[in-house]
Amino acid sequence: MISGRLPDPGVTKAVKAGDIDAKTRRRIFDAVGFTFPNRLLTTKEAPDGCPDHVLRALGVALLACFCSDPELAAHPQVLNKIPILGTFLTARGDPDDAARRSMIDDTYQCLTAVAGTPRGPRHLIAGGTVSALCQAYLGHGYGFDQALALLVGLLAAAETQCWKEAEPDLLAVLRGLSEDFQKAEDASKFELCQLLPLFLPPTTTVPSECLRDLQAGLARILGSKLSSWQRNPALKLAARLAHACGSTWIPAGSSGSKFLALLVNLACVEVRLALEETGSEVKEDVVTACYALMELGIQECTRCEQSLLKEPQKVQLVSIMKEAIGAVIHYLQQVGPEKQKEPFVFASVRILGAWLAEETSSLRKEVCQLLPFLVRYAKTLYEEAEEANDLSQQVANLAISPTTPGPSWPGDALRLLLPGWCHLTVEDGPREILIKEGAPSLLCKYFLQQWELTSPGHDTSVLPDSVEIGLQTCCHIFLNLVVTAPGLIKRDACFTSLMNTLMTSLPALVQQQGRLLLAANVATLGLLMARLLSTSPALQGTPASRGFFAAAILFLSQSHVARATPGSDQAVLALSPDYEGIWADLQELWFLGMQAFTGCVPLLPWLAPAALRSRWPQELLQLLGSVSPTSVKPEMVAAYQGVLVELARANRLCREAMRLQAGEETASHYRMAALEQCLSEP
């Protein structure tokens, strides 16, 4: 209980003085310690004529005085006051009461001081400060601007934890800020452009009403004639929205398409101005934000269905983006070894990779000239993978905000370049440069490293989709090299290591649910490489080679089944349920795999007997005999005949088994002349 005497106003005045030096502060602390402010803050019985909040105000004033010492700001006796300090921010009372206002100012001073200590943000978040600050801001009472400033600091320091503890309150603040942004007609809209990116949730979906208000506000700003200091925050906010939401925040229809075209146009102009002027200082954060908007433009220009853009707009934007990409290439050509680990270089390689994934025919000369640098750059970051992962986070900081919502930016440059290299390995000139610079060997090492992440012992359920997509794209590049540069496959030792990995991995892979497309890539690549490496000891009937071909047969044989049709006595050939949903992506690999298996049979004498033991030829003939020949497309007939003929030619027992399975009759029904002739021979 506090004594019946009112607090000495001299003490309050001394405590509130802003020019108290450290020595005086320490003397006050030594005199009263934490005991006195603790009693002031928790008392329930005030002296007659003294309002409760006056005592609490003195207690907070003492704490604020102590908290100006960083050591005391981190003291447990201060930290355990965090919850009660939060209640002062939202307590109701006379808004004109000087003591109450003073208490609120001191409360913010205490919380700000705690936030400035190493572990302070964590303690504030755990103590419910984020919710209290949100409510104080939304109440627009005295000091609400201080609440917003402290919220910004906490989000910058520990965004994920803030959203975990106070998501509903933060979303309410986002709604308020978005609405203010949409309505603002003065300079405050430019200040809000800088604040709003920090209030976009890292994982939660942004409310639709917020997106609507943000887009409307940005459309008004960017549609006006602006100076760079006004335009740049708007571009950065738009980039953050693009990174978090793709194009879903932009409305459909004419207004949306015009807005998107304007965004991409402005971004391309900014990139060209920044990168084409030799010697000028590049505003890397702004240009990186423009890269995000360009990437959004690339995605929309290549979208076939439900694109926001009309065809003439796409043609125009591709032309504009081509010029901006030319500026990016020009910039990268100037990058020396000392700058290769800078985040802005990584961001520049990223946007170039996004462009090359869709377009390699334009700027071909410039791209070919840059390829040696890209290979060296990817190799440098691959060999220092830990630092490369840090680079990805640094790019996020540079571009938009402390963290990256939405799809994460890959931490290795090679993954960014894989789709473009897949296109370029089809062309003679670029492929020769890539081979000369050692790209195939680098890709093999990269594939083997990434494959380790999917091997037994690793939890594949937590792997990002980009890992599996990267593995598939590597397979496509290797397939291109197998077809266009078979000599490289035979002479480079890295492909022998790759073949060994494919052989040992496929048996388990084909059994895993949801990974059929990756299994198809591995099986087809392995079969094509086996034709080229058929003399390798590893392929001479070893357990690994037998396991691989058994798994490949499983993949090839399970693609189709006999399916009954209503009103008909005869079944039809149909896709298996697992294959049906992805056949558009799978069929080319399947046909290529059938062709490759056919080519392996005469090269590996043990393969035909192994196929016979698997009963594939017998079951294939049985399947064909059970369905209507008219339901089997000519290309399927050709693929099946190719395998059956080679197996029959390679092994007498295969021929006998096929005859017992009515092979000659089936061959006649399907007009498989080569098979029919082969089975008629002894």
3-state secondary structure of 454: coil
pLDDT of 35 strictly over 80: no
In a domain, 98, yes or no: no
Query: Could you tell me the pLDDT band of residue 677, with boundaries at 50, 70 and 90?
Result: very high
Residue that is written with structure tokens 């030096």 in the block: 21
CB 571 within 8 A of CB 628: yes
Q: What is the pLDDT of residue 90?
A: 86
Residue that is written with structure tokens 């209980």 in the block: 1
CB 547 within 8 A of CB 616: no
DSSP 109-168: HHHHHHHTSTTHHHHHHHTTHHHHHHHHHHHT-TTHHHHHHHHHHHHHHHHHHHHHHHHH
Same domain flag for 468 and 520: no
**Mean pLDDT taken over the chain:** 88
Q: Which one-letter DSSP state was computed for residue 7? A: P
CA 114 to mean position of chain CA atoms? 34
Average pLDDT over residues 579-596: 96
Average pLDDT over residues 101-125: 93
pLDDT of 394 strictly over 70: no
Same domain flag for 582 and 664: yes
Q: What is the pLDDT of residue 55?
A: 77
The first and second tokens of residue 110, run together, are 């205490």
Same domain flag for 477 and 565: no
Q: What is the pLDDT of residue 400?
A: 46
CB 335 within 8 A of CB 282: no
Same domain flag for 327 and 450: no
Same domain flag for 623 and 560: yes
Helix axes 82-90, 52-67, angle to 10 degrees: 130
Q: What is the pLDDT of residue 462?
A: 58
Number of Cβ within 10 Å of residue 238's Cβ equals 31
pLDDT of 69 strictly over 90: no
Any idea of the CA torsion for 270, 272, 274, 275, to the nearest 10 degrees? 150
In a domain, 672, yes or no: yes
Q: What is the pLDDT of residue 281?
A: 77
In a domain, 381, yes or no: yes
Rounded CA-CA distance 537/527 in Å is: 16
Same domain flag for 317 and 259: yes
Rg of the Cα trace of the chain?
Answer: 34
Q: What is the pLDDT of residue 3?
A: 45
pLDDT of 641 strictly over 60: yes
Compute the C-alpha angle 346/351/355, nearest 5°. 140
Output 32 or 286, whichever has higher pLDDT: 286
Rounded CA-CA distance 225/356 in Å is: 33
DSSP 320-366: HHHHHHHHHHHHHHT--GGGTT-HHHHHHHHHHHHHHTT--STTHHH
Which of 245-254, 279-288, 507-516, 665-674 is the least confident region? 279-288
N-term to C-term CA, the chain: 112
Average pLDDT over residues 133-139: 95
pLDDT of 12 strictly over 80: no
CB 412 within 8 A of CB 388: yes
Same domain flag for 487 and 556: no
CB 338 within 8 A of CB 286: no
Domain count, the chain: 3
The first and second tokens of residue 46, run together, are 């005030």
CB 122 within 8 A of CB 114: no
Contacts 24+ apart (CB under 8 A), 300-309: 300/247, 300/260, 301/358, 302/358, 308/247, 308/250, 308/252, 308/256, 308/257, 308/260, 309/257, 309/260, 309/261
Same domain flag for 585 and 472: no
Q: What is the pLDDT of residue 94?
A: 77
Same domain flag for 518 and 597: yes
Residue 65's closest CA among 23, 93, 8?
A: 23
Query: How many angstroms separate the Cα of 253 from the Cα of each of 145, 215, 262, 312, 325?
Result: 38, 14, 14, 15, 28
In a domain, 166, yes or no: no
Counting Cα atoms < 13 Å in the Cβ hemisphere of 166 gives 24
In a domain, 335, yes or no: yes
Output 513 or 456, whichever has higher pLDDT: 513
In a domain, 158, yes or no: no
pLDDT tens for each residue of 175-228: 999 999 999 988 899 999 999 999 999 888 899 999 999 999 999 999 988 888
Task: Tell me which residue range forms the domain holding 617.
Answer: 494-681
Compute the C-alpha angle 348/351/356, nearest 5°. 120
Query: Could you tell me the pLDDT band of residue 507, with boundaries at 50, 70 and 90?
Result: very high
3-state secondary structure of 42: helix
In a domain, 313, yes or no: yes
Rounded CA-CA distance 609/656 in Å is: 12
3-state secondary structure of 223: coil
Same domain flag for 420 and 527: no
Residue 487's closest CA among 445, 435, 541, 539?
A: 435
pLDDT tens for each residue of 41-67: 776 665 655 666 677 888 888 888 888
In a domain, 563, yes or no: yes
Rounded CA-CA distance 657/650 in Å is: 13
Same domain flag for 484 and 532: no
The first and second tokens of residue 69, run together, are 């010492």
Which of 311-325, 329-343, 509-523 is the least confident region? 329-343
Same domain flag for 437 and 294: no
Q: Which one-letter DSSP state was computed for residue 561? A: E
